[in-house]
Structure 1
Amino acid sequence: MTALTIAAAQSFSLAGDLEGNIQRHLHFMRQAAGQGVELLVFPELSLTGYEPGLASALAIAPEAEVLQPLADLARELRLVTVVGMPVRLSVDGPLLIGALTFHADGSRQLYSKQHLHAGEERVFTPGKGGAALTFGADTVALSVCADFSHASHALQAARSGANLYAAGVLISENGYAPDTALLQGYAREHDMLVLMANHGGATGGWVSAGRSAIWAAGGQLIAAAAGVGDVLVIGRRRAGTWHGEVVAVEGL
């Protein structure tokens, strides 16, 4: 298998501050590129914070010009980057929870959250998912938080040929043990690597547990953050074997 380096961007989001969060994302991207990362995944709604009450006013179209700095840097660094944001595909369209991928060729690709957490239906509409990402012989299926709480979601990813499953999430301390047990179970059951990118601090009234993690196919923990804070949780595949490390993101 070819060498590959991936990372969960465990980042703190500024509530409702799109411009400020874009700058924080750009900083994370530069730090990740310095570590040789090729795929970087941010938490759910990372560009705005998990702020349902603000989401309608903050909704962004995938092709919005305000996101161009992220697209430009992804192309410059050859770093495929997945960010979280509230999305409207048209002015009067439904409000979606999106994961937008900026590819190394400058293109953008949207995944929309299919399974809403209880209460989210008051603000958001279920999305339709999206195509997997391809890295040579590797196929990466995306998930946004509650998507992975449905076993059928990971099963479909595996049946579609994904060998990596990447989830941008918001998980609190109370939900951490059962949710990570599910994710580790998918790594074991479906023989695919699982990456979880959690928020690095409180957002939208929720206190994130942090502790973003990566599990190898088979379920072995590769790396996990010790708690909250701005960090990169990195997985490196060399000669078919995964190794991990956690790197603090400084200068924010």
Structure 2
Amino acid sequence: MNASVFAAAQAISVAGDVHANVMAHLRFMQAAAEQDVKLLVFPELSLTGYELGLAAKLAILPNDSLLQPLRDLAQELCLTTVVGMPIRLSTSEPVLIGALILGADGSLGVYSKQHLHTGEEVVFAPGHGGPMLPMDLDQVALAVCADFTHACHAASAAGQGTTVYAAGVLISKGGYEPDTTLLQSYARQHAMAVLMANHGGATGGWESAGRSAIWGPDGSLLAAAQGVGEALVIARRGDSGWAGQAMAL
């Protein structure tokens, strides 16, 4: 059977401790590879936490050497991995909310958040989006949190042939129901699977809801984490259709 396997990494970020978060990401990557995952997506700003006050100091160029252990493991495991980090595209440019694409082939791609939440503009500039990710028979489009609250973002992705819409987010308990209702509607409306990787614990003064989830292209819930805590939420598309599972780490 030909299978495409995608996963949301529901990670808990240590505030501002990039080294500790890199080590945690490596552990998630190993666990995902054991489940034959080919694309692993982490939450928004997963390598620093959603720490707006630290973002400018911690921002890196995308090719910074601190990502090398993650890039090496992604290539070793043949696991394309999307990690969240404050970035600058050059030393003279503003800080963006980045989703860095560490390719299974050793490549490096950059997605930057296009639509900012209120308050984020104090630290970040709006980003530029990024490339579609070809994954076997699928085309994956990325989003970072507030991007998906703009219906035009998902519609544009669908118009480019997206089959999987993958969002790294920070969603609180109060926002969970409306946000997931919206994401589920995109799956149904555009006939694409939708993956949501949420933080597994509190970050930046926000209490994350956890409950990362993946919906099938008919809008059905394939799998979701039960609550907060570290988890992998996995979806597999094979010859007989889609199936999902959630596992605590």
Q: Distance in 1 between matches of 2:77 and 2:221?
A: 28
The corresponding residue for 2:208 is 208
In 1: Cα distance, 2:2 partner to 2:182 partner: 28
Counterpart residue identity of residue 151, structure 1: A
Q: CA deviation at 1:240?
A: 4.1
1:70 aligns with: 70
* In 2: Cα distance, 1:248 partner to 1:81 partner: 19
Identity of aligned residues (%): 64
- Secondary structure of the structure 2 residue equivalent to 1:23: helix
Measure, in 2, the Cα distance between the counterparts of 1:216 and 1:105. 27
Matched with 1:176 is 176
Q: Tell me the equivalent position of 1:11.
A: 11
Give distance in 1, aligned partners of 2:2 and 2:152: 29
Q: Which runs of 5+ in 1 are unaligned?
A: none
Q: Report if the CA contact (8 A) 2:114-2:147 is conserved.
A: yes
Counterpart residue type for residue 233 of structure 2: V
Shift of 1:236: 1.2
Following superposition, the deviation at residue 91 of structure 1 comes to 1.5
- How far has the Cα of 1:92 moved from its partner? 2.0
The count of residues paired between Structure 1 and Structure 2 equals 249
Other-structure match for 1:35: 35
Q: Is the 8 A contact 1:3 1:240 kept in 2?
A: no
Task: Give the TM-score taking structure 1 as reference length.
Answer: 0.97
* Regions of 4+ moved over 4 Å: none
User: Comparing 32-41 with 238-247, which one deviates more in the overlay?
Assistant: 238-247
CA contact (8 A) 1:43 1:197 kept: yes
Structure 2: runs of 5+ lacking an equivalent:
none
In structure 2, how many angstroms separate the alpha carbons of the residues matched to 1:56 and 1:239?
Answer: 46
What is the match of residue 246 of structure 1?
A: 246
| Cα shift at 1:87 | 0.3
Once the two structures are superposed, the pairs formed by residues 85-96 of structure 1 within 5 Å of their partners are 85-96=85-96
Residue by residue over 1:56-109, the C-alpha shift from the partner in whole angstroms, topping out at 9 and shown as x without a partner, is 000011100111000000000000100000001111211000000101111110
Q: In 2, Cα distance between the equivalents of 1:164 and 1:136?
A: 12
Q: Which stretch of the first structure deviates more once superposed, 128-137 or 25-34?
A: 128-137
Distance in 2 (alpha carbons) for counterparts of 1:240 and 1:173:
34
Check whether the contact 2:4–2:136 (CA below 8 A) recurs between aligned residues: no
